[in-house]
Amino acid sequence: MAKTLVITGATKGIGKACAYRFAKEGVNIAFTYNSNEEFAKEIALDLEAKFGIKARYYPYNILEPETAKDLFLQIDEDFDSVDYFISNAMIYGRAVVGGYNKFMKLKPRGLNNIYIATVDAFVCGAQEAAKRMEKVGGGAIVSLSSTGNLVYIENYAGHGTNKAAVEAMVRYAATELGEKGIRVNAVSGGPIETDALRAFTNYEEVAAQTAALSPLGRMGQPDDISGACWFLCNEEAGWITGATLIVDGGTTFKK
């Protein structure tokens, strides 16, 4: 029986790359979108046509993570199992006003929204996924993180702090879910060329600095992260849990 990946926020960037990477391996895909249903439909149809797997899409607002319970009930109707879960979706733009700024200009509302979308969304999604993974003898959970919790990035204090928090939550989840055969890890990416990064006010500067810092001489791409997520979910990573895999093109060390 084909396995199923549940991933939040897979209409673009890293999430979309993960959906295509797992589908390429014959994995069914259940993914969420925030606002663009037509685009989600196009991706689902393309995944099914290219890889012969089953793909379904669901609306989900990560600022309301408690609705993960309803989301997974919908997924239950379409799929026989949940074998992998990737907590990927993130917020930017108006929702992070007060959270994406210099330290002295940070505001609780923006910081709280980032926490909800990063840590709470991981917890609620992983809890629902784990209930289903236990029924099939185990599974793998991955949270996306960022090296912005290890090195200074201008205006990134809110995001960086919450990425550190979600990595700690991953370790706790891994410790408690291991007896159920569920592995939990994080993938911490350096600056990756996505819409979220382009939303940075100093995107061009970040892109140029990243390419200059990396011994590999280029920016990170979504496929660089999706490959790491696939590795952590498959059997070759069977004894890896509670870990954070840094995928940064060597940039963090050179900082």
What average pLDDT does the segment 93-109 reach? 93
Query: Of 163, 172, 180, 254, which is the active-site residue?
Result: 163
pLDDT, tens digit, 9 for 90 and up, residues 128-169: 999 999 999 999 999 999 999 999 988 999 999 999 999 999
The whole-model pTM stands at 0.95
* Residue 50's CATH number: 3.40.50.720
User: Is residue 39 in some structural domain?
Assistant: yes
The answer to whether 156 is a known catalytic residue is: yes
User: Is residue 207 in some structural domain?
Assistant: no
User: Is residue 233 in some structural domain?
Assistant: yes
**Domain housing 144:** 4-199+220-247
pLDDT, tens digit, 9 for 90 and up, residues 175-195: 999 999 999 999 999 888 876
User: Is residue 68 in some structural domain?
Assistant: yes
pLDDT, tens digit, 9 for 90 and up, residues 112-125: 999 999 999 999 99
The answer to whether 92 is a known catalytic residue is: no
- Cβ atoms of residues 115 and 171 within 8 Å: no
Total domains in the chain come to 1
What average pLDDT does the segment 75-82 reach? 98
- Cβ atoms of residues 83 and 139 within 8 Å: yes
**pLDDT above 90 for 212:** no
pLDDT at position 202? 67
Q: State how far the Cα of 121 lies from the Cα of 108, in Å rounded to an integer.
A: 18
pLDDT at position 116? 97
pLDDT at position 199? 62
Query: Of 3, 156, 203, 255, which is the active-site residue?
Result: 156
Give the count of alpha carbons within 13 A of 92, CB side only.
14
pLDDT at position 91? 86
Query: Over the chain, what is the mean pLDDT?
Result: 94
User: Is residue 214 in some structural domain?
Assistant: no
User: Is residue 253 in some structural domain?
Assistant: no
